[in-house]
Amino acid sequence: MIGRWLGNALGHAMVAAIVLITPANASAAAACDAPPDALGKFSPSTDADPPPLTPFFDAADVPRTFADFQGEALVVNFWATWCAPCVKEMPALDRLAEAVDGDGITVLALSADREGADVVRAFYDVNALNNLAVSLDRRMAVSRALGIPGLPTTVLIDRDGREIGRLVGAAEWDAPEAVDFLRRCLTDAAG
């Protein structure tokens, strides 16, 4: 009887120890493990470090940081009007922004264009992009701080301000399975 009780107690202690050593972002990792083909190049993050507080600038030239979006999940796309794959994926990002509006997910398109907000605004107008705010990554400062290897690259940040993963290259952001994945991945990450 004592042996059975001791065995059960040890078993419960082991389960408790496993729960205690599970990383805080384990549910996010599980939810983000199997991206759909539309996001095939997505790579989950191995650390949960918060993104840098390096400023980017909105259309009114006001400095912003990711901390300004506390409590929201972010899909942060680094792009430029002169980048052909970026140009191709921008309509999909615009449709994604519309699809996740109201879900606590914000799509930020940070332009590396040196000419400023007018160039980005004109690009949005010509391409009928109505759901993305004009945002500028001047001198690619945020890109460098995050170690972005090239354009386009998209970084997912959960509601707790942790990087969940990234995708280097263009993707079909508005594909239904991609939208579902982002909702699940970013919502589960917020735990």
Query: Does 3 reside within a domain?
Result: no
Query: Does 2 reside within a domain?
Result: no
Residue 187 confidence (pLDDT): 78
The C-alpha angle with vertex 171 and arms to 106 and 130, in degrees rounded to 5, equals: 45
Which range of residues forms the domain containing residue 152?
25-190
Q: Give the distance between the most distant pair of CA atoms in the chain.
A: 79
H, E, C per residue of 129-149:
CCCCCCEECHHHHHHHHHCCC
Q: At 2, list the tokens.
A: 């004592």
- Rounded to an integer, the average pLDDT of 93-103 is 97
At 154-172, the pLDDT tens digits run 999 999 999 999 999 999 9
Say what percent of the chain tops pLDDT 90.
Answer: 74
CATH number at residue 91: 3.40.30.10
Query: Does 151 reside within a domain?
Result: yes
Given the structure tokens 């994926």, which residue do they identify? Answer: 89
118-127 per-residue burial string, b: 16 or more CB within 10 A, e: under 16 = ebbeebbeee
Cα-flanking dihedrals φ and ψ of residue 83, to 5°? -100, 110
* Residue 149: C-alpha distances to residues 70, 126, 143, 145, 152 (Å): 26, 28, 8, 11, 9
Q: Is the pLDDT of residue 23 over 50?
A: no
Residue ranges of E strands in 59-126? 63-64, 73-79, 105-111
Query: Does 5 reside within a domain?
Result: no
Q: At 154, list the tokens.
A: 């998209």
Query: Does 7 reside within a domain?
Result: no
The answer to whether residues 145 and 54 touch, using CB atoms and an 8 Å cutoff, is yes
Q: Sign of the CA dihedral 146, 37, 132, 84? A: positive
Residue 25 confidence (pLDDT): 44
Query: Does 89 reside within a domain?
Result: yes
Q: Is the pLDDT of residue 145 over 90?
A: yes
Q: How many domains does the chain have?
A: 1
At 101-132, the pLDDT tens digits run 999 999 999 999 999 999 999 999 999 999 99
